[in-house]
Chain A
C-alpha cells in the first residue's frame, strides 16, 4: 500500500501534471498558429465603446474607441458566473455554476496549500489554528473553508448535472458516452476529495504536506488511503482534461477573441495582410466542377491571372 501510495502521490501525479501542461500547451499553440480566417464576428462586441463601428459613416477614417476593461468584465462574468447559462438555461446553470465554482475554489485551494507548504518549509511556521502570527491562522482557516467549499460545490454541481443528463429527455438524447464519463470523473474527483476531507483530513494538513513533498521533489506516500484515492482521481482528471471537451477553458479565449470579437480591419502592409496573402496563394484541391483543382485562390477569383499562371507554368 505504501509503495502504491508513494507511486500515486509522486511519480503518477508528476506524470499527469506534465501531460496536462504539455498537451494543453500544444493545443493552445496549435490554435494560436492556425491561419487567420475570414471574419465571423458576433455582436455586440464588448470592446467597442459606443457600439459597432459599422454604425458610422467612413468608419475606416475614424479612430475607434475600444475598452479592454469592458472585455475583461464581460469575460469575468462569463467565466466566473457562467452568465449565458444563467440567462438561457437556468436548470443547467444550477449545476454548472457550483461545479465551476468548485473547480475555481480547488485552484484557490491549491494556491493556499502551496503557500502553506512554503510557510512551513521556508519560514518554519506550522500552519495551525492558534499561532502567534494572525495571518498564519487566517491561512489555516481559509484553507479549510475554501477546501471544504470546493469539494461540496464540485460534488453537488456535478451530481446535479449528471442527474439532469439522465433525467431530462432532451439532454439524454443529445449526450454521448464521454458526456457521462466527464461528469462521473468530476464526481469521483470531488467526491473522493470530500470523503478525504471529512474522514481523514479536516484541516488539509495531510494534503499540504503531500504537496510540500512534491514541490521539494521528495514525494512521500499520502497519510491516508482516502487521500491516495483523491490524488489518483486528481491525476486522472489532469491527464484526461486536455483531451476532452472539458478543456473549453483554453478554447474559450479563441472563441471570443479570435472569432466572435475579432473585428480587426485589413490594412495595407499589416501582418494580417501578409498572412492572408500567403493563404490566398495556396492551392485548392476541392473537386466540384466550378473549382479549378490544384490552383490557387488567386487563380480561382481572377480568370486572367489564372490563364497567365497556366501559360507561365507551361513555358517552364
Chain B
C-alpha cells in the first residue's frame, strides 16, 4: 500500500517512516513473490533503519541529547558551506538554481526507475528529497523562511531523525538524472541529492563504507579501490594473458608502462578480478587492430574508477589528479577509459575543469575507438558467431551524461546478426539506470543490497524482460550486453542472483568487447563460454 508521508512529517518520531513491504512492489512477469529478510533486533537497536527499514550508511543511533544536537548542528554547518562560494564553487550555481526554482509540478516523478517500482511511495519521488533540502534551507538560511515559516515554504523543523533519514534518502537515488531530463524548468533533483551526499561526506564524514572507506580511501592508499597494489596488478595481468592464450590459442603480451604509447587505457580494476575476459578482450582487439596502447602499473595508473564523483568533490579531485599525473609521467598521448560509465564521465567531462595547466591531457571513451575498429575494417567480424538474442543496456553515464549514443550501436550492429538484436524500450539517452548507479553496485552494508536489487534494479529487469519477451524460452541462450562494469555488477546481483534470469530464461550478461571478440575470425572456440559465466 502506498504510504503517505508529508514533507513536514519527515522527522516524526516513528520507528520506520515508510516501511517497505514486499507486497507494495509490483512483481516482474513470472515473479511469484518478493521476500525481504528481517534485520536482526540487535542491529535495529544499534543502527538507524528509520527511513524505510533499510540502511545504506550504518548510522549509529544517537544515545544522548548532546549527540542528537551535534548531528543537527553539524548538518546545518555543512548546509551553509554547500551554499558558499568558497567551499562549493564547484557546484554552487547548479545547486542554487535547483534549490530555488522547483515549481512542484511532479513532472519528473514518472521518469524515475525507483518511484514507480516502489509502489509509488512518496519518499522516493525525485523531487521529495530535494524538497526536504529546499524547505530546510529556507527555514534556517533565508529571512523569509525565518520570519514567515510555513508561509514562506519553510515548514520542516530539523531534528536528528530528519538529518539521518535525509542521509539515507540521498542513497536511494542513483543519480541517473532521468528525472532532470523531463523537468520543464531545468531543475536537477539528482544534483541536489549529490550535493547532500557531499555535505554528509565533506562535513560530517558520513558516506557508505563501500564508496568511501573501502572505496576512495582505499584507492588513494593502495592504488585501486579493489585494494590491488602494483605488484598484484602485474600478477593479475599474467592471469589475463593466460586467459587470452586459453581462449584464442596464442599468448598476447599486454603492453604495460610503454612510454609514449598513443594512449593509456584505464580499466575499472574490478574487471581484472570479476570479469577478466573483458580486459582480455580489449587486449585481443587492440593487438589485432595494430593499435598503440598501454596499461600502467604505476600507483593510480591502473585503476579507472573514481567513486568521488558520486559523493565527494575532494576525493574526486584527488583521484582524478592521480590518474592524470600517472598518464603524464608515462608520456602517452591521451587517456582512454574502458567499459566503465562513471569512470568515463568522471575522467572525461566532470573532471575537465580540474585539469588546468600541467594537468591538461586529452581524455576520451573507448567506444569511438572500438567503433572505428569495426567501421575501418581493421578486423573482419562475423556476426553469425554471435547468433543468439542480444539486448544492450546504454549506461546512463555514457548516453545521458555524455551523449555517447551511436558507437556502441554501430558495434553491436556489426557483430550481431540484425535479427538477433532486441533493443530495450527507451534505448538511448532516455534509457533507465541499471539500478547500480552512483555506488549502489558496490554498497553492501546491512540490508541495503535487498533494497537495491528489489527496488532500484527492478525497472531494468522489467525492460530486459520486455526486450526478450519473444525469446524468453530457456532453451534459447541470450545475452544482456552492458558496456559498463557497474552495470554488469548490478546485472549479476539483481537479474542473475536475485531474479534468477539465468535459471529461468538462460540469460547471461557481459560487456561489448566480449561480443566483438566472439565475432572475430579464426577463433579456436567461442570467446563467450556460456557455462563459465556463472
A112 to chain B, nearest CB (A): 28
Q: Does B234 contact A (CB under 8 A)?
A: no
| Contact B352–A265 (Cβ < 8 Å) | yes
Q: Does B404 contact A (CB under 8 A)?
A: yes
Q: Does A76 contact B (CB under 8 A)?
A: no
Q: Does B403 contact A (CB under 8 A)?
A: yes
Q: Does A297 contact B (CB under 8 A)?
A: yes
Q: Nearest CB to that of A280 among chain B residues? A: B356
| Contact A276–B356 (Cβ < 8 Å) | yes
Interface residues in A, total, Cβ within 8 A: 81
Q: Does B222 contact A (CB under 8 A)?
A: no
| Chain A residues numbered 160-205 whose CB sits less than 8 Å from any CB in chain B | 169-171, 173-179
A183 to chain B, nearest CB (A): 10
With A37-B91, A92-B107, A173-B122 as known contacts, state yes or no: A287 contacts B203, CB within 8 Å: yes
Pick the residue among B94, B152, B400 that contacts A259 (CB under 8 A).
Answer: B94
| Contact B403–A251 (Cβ < 8 Å) | no
Give the interface centre of A35, A40, A56, A263 by most chain B CB atoms within 10 Å: A40
In the bound complex, CA of A147 to CA of B108 (Å): 33
Taken residue by residue from 22 to 40, chain A's Cβ proximity to chain B (1 for < 8 Å, 0 otherwise) reads as 0000000001001111111
Q: Does B204 contact A (CB under 8 A)?
A: yes
Interface residues on B, range: 35 or more
B73 to chain A, nearest CB (A): 11
In the bound complex, CA of A87 to CA of B430 (Å): 13
Number of A-B contacts (CB under 8 A): 255
Pick the residue among B91, B181, B368 that contacts A38 (CB under 8 A).
Answer: B91
| Contact B353–A38 (Cβ < 8 Å) | yes
| Contact A54–B111 (Cβ < 8 Å) | no
Taken residue by residue from 136 to 179, chain B's Cβ proximity to chain A (1 for < 8 Å, 0 otherwise) reads as 00000000100000111101000000000000000000000100
Measured between beta carbons, the chain B residues less than 8 angstroms from A258 are 93
Q: Does A213 contact B (CB under 8 A)?
A: no
Measured between beta carbons, the chain B residues less than 8 angstroms from A78 are 184
A231 to chain B, nearest CB (A): 25
| Contact B403–A255 (Cβ < 8 Å) | no
| Contact B94–A284 (Cβ < 8 Å) | no
Q: Does B205 contact A (CB under 8 A)?
A: yes
| Contact B90–A34 (Cβ < 8 Å) | no
A59 to chain B, nearest CB (A): 7
Interface of B is mostly: helix
A232 to chain B, nearest CB (A): 21
Q: Does A307 contact B (CB under 8 A)?
A: no
| Contact A43–B81 (Cβ < 8 Å) | no
| Contact B150–A176 (Cβ < 8 Å) | yes
Q: Does B491 contact A (CB under 8 A)?
A: no
Pick the residue among B125, B128, B403 that contacts A52 (CB under 8 A).
Answer: B403
Q: Which residues of A contact B (CB under 8 A)?
A: 31, 34-45, 48, 51-60, 78, 82-85, 87-89, 92, 96, 169-171, 173-179, 243, 245-248, 251-252, 254-256, 258-260, 263, 265-266, 268, 272-273, 276-277, 279-280, 282-291, 297, 300-302
9 A-B pairs with the lowest CB-CB distances in the bound complex, closest first: A52-B403, A255-B186, A43-B403, A176-B153, A89-B107, A35-B89, A286-B202, A288-B205, A34-B93
Known: A41-B402, A179-B103, A301-B314. 13 other contacts (CB 8 A): A52-B405, A59-B364, A88-B107, A92-B106, A177-B153, A248-B186, A251-B186, A255-B101, A276-B353, A279-B89, A284-B86, A287-B205, A288-B205
Q: Which residues of B contact A (CB under 8 A)?
A: 4, 6-7, 74, 77-78, 81, 85-87, 89-94, 96-97, 100-111, 122, 125, 127-128, 131, 135, 144, 150-153, 155, 177, 180-188, 191, 201-205, 217, 312-315, 317-318, 321, 334, 348-357, 360, 362, 364-365, 367-369, 372, 399-407, 429
What are 12 A-B pairs with beta-carbon distances under 8 A? A35-B92, A41-B349, A42-B180, A42-B181, A84-B184, A178-B153, A179-B103, A252-B186, A263-B349, A284-B87, A301-B314, A301-B317
